[in-house]
Amino acid sequence: MASAENPAPGAASALWVSTFAFTACFAVWTIFSIIGVQIKTNLGLSEAQFGLLVGTPILTGSLVRVFLGVWTEQFGGRRVNLIVMVLAAAATFLLSYAQTYGQFLIAALGVGMAGGAFAVGVAYVSKFYPAGRQGTALGIFGAGNVGAAVTKFAAPFVMLALGWEAVAQIWAGALLIIALGFFLLTRDEPQLVARRRSGEKAAAAWMQLTPLKDLRVWRFALYYFFVFGGFVALALWLPHYLTGAYGVGIGVAGMLAAAYSIPGSLFRVFGGWLSDKIGARKVMYLTFAISVICTFILSYPATAYVVDGIEGPIRFRLAISLPVFTALVFVLGFAMSLGKAAVYKHIPVYYPDHVGSVGGLVGMIGGLGGFIMPIVFGALNDLTGVWTSCFMLLFLLVLTALVWMHFAVRRMERRRAPILADLPEFPELAGVGPDKAASSSLRSH
């Protein structure tokens, strides 16, 4: 088992193979961000119908996370993840035979199983690492979000050459092979092995769900609604946004959208390390502040102005160019990646025996954001006729989260121990109890 300082045996393979497997799952989970554009054209879908199509896999992958997290605690991550990946691969292959909108939605529900791999991986990987290194480890695992960029880079070329059906079939085959490799190259969690040796039974499912009554769990879930749900929503929406707002082809749109997905995934490793070093609260403030600025600028629609000048009307136009847009979404993806890691930094610290259920709930709420927001994006487009309406919604969401977090943290600091208000790090998010932090502060004064 993991000691206070060192990871458990098999930690490296568990981390890196799980990360690779999760990358494949995420590539499948977001497959409709590319093939959905062609399906929309073939079926003549409205913006709202398209939003529902790309969001349906996110719904399934979100709702199953709590149950998969609990089952991982009971039966082990290797077994559960193998089953999840095989089922997702089968659904993705069958997707290539869908003909009607209803059939596509049913297939999309099955494809969404791939998204449940996140809850399995968090519960599985965290068991191999001590608390002081779990932020970094889970940050590396969470970087598997880069699978969205893999789909955006590769799927357009496969689709243009062989059709969208080939994308579904190739992605399904790759996922099945990787699933088998994951099972063969990893070992069971040390806690599971010890439990088998002692003959101890796993905790009942309802016992795993008891921490969900804690308000703090739901607070973390709301943060994740923006940093992860917003990330997934934009990862799905940007190719369509770029083809419509800037008139680029699907291949170019996929590559440009990857400029958002890549930092939104890979920098999660840095976010985990940073949360270990300076504390999750500071990282969350940084995330929300950068996101407020970026979404505000991105939400401003292209506008033509006429000013009554001295010698007659003066006309000018304000609009975000494609290079500036790409740079802004890159920065936004970077900020979200930090926040995703910060949220998951303290779950295994606070709930070491319930990482599956707590991590599953937080992931579920975040995933629901990824399901709901593409639908709302499409509805806003239909209602307003303004492409940037999606960023208007994100701006309001992150601004609300920032204000809520600030006042909630200050209120908790003063209520629990007034002296903590002067500390540079709120102890709850640094893994230090209020009593210990207060006594340390008294000694320092």
Instruction: Give the domain CATH number at 180.
Output: 1.20.1250.20
CA distance 243 to 39: 14
| pLDDT 10s digits, 267-280 | 888 888 888 788 87
Indicate left, alpha or beta for 301 from its phi (over 0: left) and psi (-120 to 50: alpha). beta
Look up residue 131 and give its two tokens: 């608390």
Would you call 444 helix, strand, or coil by DSSP?
helix
Sort 183 into a burial class: Cβ within 10 Å, 0-12 / 13-18 / 19+: middle
CA distance 43 to 347: 43
Share of the chain above pLDDT 70, in %: 84
Round to the nearest angstrom and report the end-to-end CA distance of the chain: 39
436 assigned to some structural domain: no
426 assigned to some structural domain: no
Residues 341 and 46 sit within 8 Å (Cβ to Cβ): no
Total length of the chain? 445
What pLDDT does 73 receive? 79
305 assigned to some structural domain: yes
What pLDDT does 215 receive? 66
421 assigned to some structural domain: no
pTM (whole model) above 0.75: no
66 assigned to some structural domain: yes
113 assigned to some structural domain: yes
Residues 254 and 168 sit within 8 Å (Cβ to Cβ): no
253 assigned to some structural domain: yes
Number of domains making up the chain:
1
CA distance 280 to 211: 20
60 assigned to some structural domain: yes
Write out the residue range of the structural domain in which residue 359 sits: 11-396
| pLDDT 10s digits, 277-326 | 888 788 889 999 999 999 999 998 888 888 888 887 888 788 888 899 98
